[in-house]
Amino acid sequence: RREQARLKASVVEEDTEQWQKDPHFSGLQRVGGVDLSYIKGDESRACASLVVLSFPALEVLYQDCRMVAVTAPYVAGFLAFREVPVLVEAVQRLQQEEPQLQPQVLLVDGNGLLHPRGFGTACHLGVLTDLPCIGVAKNLLHVDGLVRDELHREQVRSLQRSGETFPLTGTSGKVLGMVLRSCSNSSRPLYVSVGHRVSLGTAVRLVRACCRFRIPEPIRQ
């Protein structure tokens, strides 16, 4: 908890890049996606993936997928300590081998500020790599009074068209993220939250711009 709190003090919840302030993201050329996938029945090994796509064409420029040993145990609320070290290594390999392909922003399969202590995987990775990061989760994390109850399901059903959203406001009154209907063909939403060096509005716009299907291409790839 102390380490989380220490790192959390470095999170920047606003846009820091010129391309983020442009309605068409002019100047954004490379978007990265990271994910860790476990083998069913074996929590000690995982496939760590980093993919970089061109923007806005969303064509794969770089991919690094490798099996890694995961040594830290899973503890709820501290998943980043288990996953982020291998993702940082993947980013560092890219910076050494193909520095010209470094992503200008990373989409993380997980949460950012939408976390029991406001410091999910996307925040953790963002602070350690100093890259703009966005959390993109497929399921709602139950924090700060947020629950997937009938009211929440009703709000999700009200999202009729691609790009429609509603805010995730906790009982504390803080907006922790946005629920986004990312494509017309799927009624299942995404839960977008700030990781580092990006505002929530920009995060939502960028995730939507990266979606051909429900899951944004950098993470889907």
**CA-based nearest residue to 162, from 194, 187, 199:** 187
User: Has residue 82 been placed in a domain?
Assistant: yes
Q: Does some domain include residue 180?
A: no
pLDDT at 73: 85
The answer to whether position 175 is within a domain reads no
**How far is the CA of 138 from the CAs of 60, 97, 111, 209, 213, in angstroms?**
22, 32, 9, 17, 13
**Contact residues for 134 (Cβ-Cβ < 8 A; gap 6+):** 105, 106, 107, 108, 112, 122, 192, 193, 194, 195, 198, 203, 206, 207
- Cis peptide preceding 56, ω within 30 of 0: yes
Residue 136's nearest CA partner among 33, 213, 50 is 33
Among the ranges given (11-20, 45-54, 75-84), the one the predictor scored with the smallest mean pLDDT: 75-84
Contacts of 189 (CB under 8 A, 6+ apart): 156, 159, 179, 180, 181, 182
* Average pLDDT over every residue of 99-118: 97
The answer to whether residue 75 scores a pLDDT higher than 90 is no
Q: Which of 32-46, 128-142, 169-183, 190-204 has the lowest mean pLDDT?
A: 32-46
Q: Is residue 184 part of a domain?
A: no
Evaluate if residue 39 carries a pLDDT over 90.
Answer: no
What pTM was estimated for this model as a whole? 0.96
In a domain, 20, yes or no: yes
The single-letter DSSP state of residue 74 is: P
For residue 105, the domain's CATH number is 3.30.2170.10
Domain with 117 in it: 1-134+197-219
67 domain-assigned: yes
- Cα 80–18–195 angle (5° rounding)? 15
What is the pLDDT averaged over residues 103-124?
Answer: 96
CA-to-CA dists, residue 60 to 64, 89, 98, angstroms: 11, 20, 14
Residue 126 clears pLDDT 90, i.e. is over it: yes
The mean pLDDT value of the chain amounts to: 95
Given this model, what pLDDT does residue 97 score? 96
* Residue at 128 is within a domain: yes
CA distance 105 to 137: 16
Q: What percent of the chain has pLDDT over 70?
A: 100
What is the rounded average pLDDT of the residues 46-59?
Answer: 97
The answer to whether position 57 is within a domain reads yes
pLDDT at 72: 86
Looking at the DSSP assignment, which residues form a beta bridge with residue 65?
A: 49
pLDDT at residue 71 is higher than 90: no
Calculate what percentage of the chain has a pLDDT beyond 90. 92
In this prediction, residue 135 carries a pLDDT of 98
What mean pLDDT do residues 34-48 have?
91
Number of domains in the chain: 1
Weakest mean pLDDT among 77-81, 85-89, 153-157, 178-182: 77-81
β-bridge partners, 178: 167, 192
